[in-house]
Amino acid sequence: METIDQHTKGIMEECKKRAADAGLNASDETLEYLVTNQDLLKLSPKIMIPTLYDYWVHDIQVHQENARYKLYPNNPYETVINSRPPISFYNDNNPDWFNIMIFYHVMAHIDFFQNNAMFKNTWNEDFVGKALADKRRIAGLRDEHGRMVDYVIEFTRGLDNIVGYYDELADLNFPNEVNVDPKMKFYFDVFLQDVKEVTSSEFFKESERYNDLVRRNPDVARSIFFAEIQTKYPEFDALYEKREEKKYKNLDVIQFIMENSKKLNFEENRWMKSVMQIVRDTSMYFQPQLRTKIMNEGWASYWHENLILKDERIKGHEVDIARMHARVTAIPRVGLNPYAIGMRLFEYIKMIGDTGRNSFEFMKLKDIDERKKFDLKTGKGDELIFKVRSDLTDYLFIQEYIDQDFVNQHKLFVVGRKPDYERMVWKYYVKSRKAEDYKKMILGALAHPPDIQVNRKRTTKNILYLEHNYEGKPLKEDWIHNTMLGAEFLWDGPVVLKTNDVSMPQSGVEPVITPVIYKMHKRTLVKKEL
């Protein structure tokens, strides 16, 4: 691995200037390295972060990548690390004309990292430097505690996809200086919902009662409101004062275990918290990338296409560029290519902004020919795509902009399959050309970690009680045992998980949803229907 030479750096600096002129807002300072195919094979298990902590699973994955490479020689042309400064790696056998396209692609990635709201928790962080410090910390702990460090890493990684990413993002967007009455917040957010477990209608009635007092007596509304609460709920003040002594925080599972596990708070085990925090921080760094894969790759592909078409330096290699671009952005008939869908959606959104098709006038139109001809010539396409780039995630991107016009324009469809018993193969067929079905297929393929929270009311000093908020997808049953085994080790006591089983009696019938309880105690998992 070595830094790019001055000739290649000059090419990139020119690409950077042209990208900035086009409106991309990326860091002035960047680091670029040339890497071999073997370097890339070693970096892949570490998600291309060279300073990430060492872990035995990474070594196994390197052997797997080497074996796969011998059968199917293939490597990424580039990769970008969202750090300060941004770092990018390039295959050492890329020709100059190809690097021009790749540099534009990389600049768009950096622009996305530094401007999409989901990455706000990474904007001021040198993750590569932090990862190096974490790596040294784990190496020192491994020298002191041996393989026990790897147990803690493995058990924490079993929980690292349910970290409280959105809670931390909310804290960044709505910092403490926002003036919120803590007693009022406790009453509505904690006391009514968690302690009294009121219904939605009762909650809204109470909210409206307070609003009515504010309208009629704004100066004394608060004191009247809490006087009535004291009469109705004599225990409220005591609970609030107790809460003030120990501030109520919305902790994710890893944080809750770190704070409340008896085992981890013994002096001889406190080092485990450091390891758990490193694993959690690493997961938090990657959370926004999981939620913006289609947008990120689509944005980079959109801009490398637009910028390279205007670059005279590719003269004589137009066919090579077109062939490479088509290979990256082709729409597969089966499966999902995030580069292809993302790029075409940004093109479609630009057209919507340029023609005013996000107006009420267009939405009223039903006639196909009139919809095709509609053009208010607003010229706001660039403004719209930059706003989408800044504000949305993959879920909102797909939900908002894939419609029937987009599906028809690109001849998209949902593929079904059924067994061909005569030939003993799967037979594929066009299942649907409806936008809603195509949208549902893509949304189903997005990364969507389960929502699992600690039930504080049912958790005791000995038992950790977890609840899965069912959102249409059951948990992967094969993973439950090992995950709960790790949680039991870290908690040092029984772990209970409340979730749902989903069964399909037969095709075309609504699935049957059954509440179930899993309990891990003394490394034995027991499942019980409720």
Contact 305, 343 (CB under 8 A): yes
pLDDT computed for residue 235 by the predictor: 86
User: What mean pLDDT comes out for the span 460-473?
Assistant: 93
Query: Using CB atoms within 10 A of its CB, is residue 277 exposed (0-12), middle (13-18) or buried (19+)?
Result: middle
Task: Write down the mean pLDDT value for the chain.
Answer: 91
pLDDT computed for residue 177 by the predictor: 47
Q: What would you measure as the largest C-alpha separation in the chain, in angstroms?
A: 84
Q: How far is CA 14 from CA 19, 145, 352, 471, in A?
A: 9, 51, 31, 47
pLDDT above 70 (res 245): no
pLDDT digits (tens, 9 = 90+) for 57-112: 998 988 888 888 888 877 777 889 998 889 999 988 889 999 999 999 999 999 99
User: What mean pLDDT comes out for the span 158-186?
Assistant: 78
pLDDT above 80 (res 185): yes
Q: Lowest-confidence range among 136-145, 352-361, 506-515?
A: 506-515
pLDDT computed for residue 325 by the predictor: 94
pTM: 0.84
Share of the chain above pLDDT 70, in %: 96
pLDDT digits (tens, 9 = 90+) for 258-304: 999 999 999 999 999 999 999 999 999 999 999 999 999 999 999 99
pLDDT digits (tens, 9 = 90+) for 439-460: 999 999 998 899 999 999 999 9
pLDDT above 80 (res 249): no
pLDDT above 70 (res 201): yes
Contacts of 198 by beta carbon, 8 Å cutoff, 6+ apart: 192, 206
What span, in angstroms and rounded, lies between the C-alpha atoms of 465 and 456?
8
Beta bridge partners of residue 465, listed in sequence order:
496
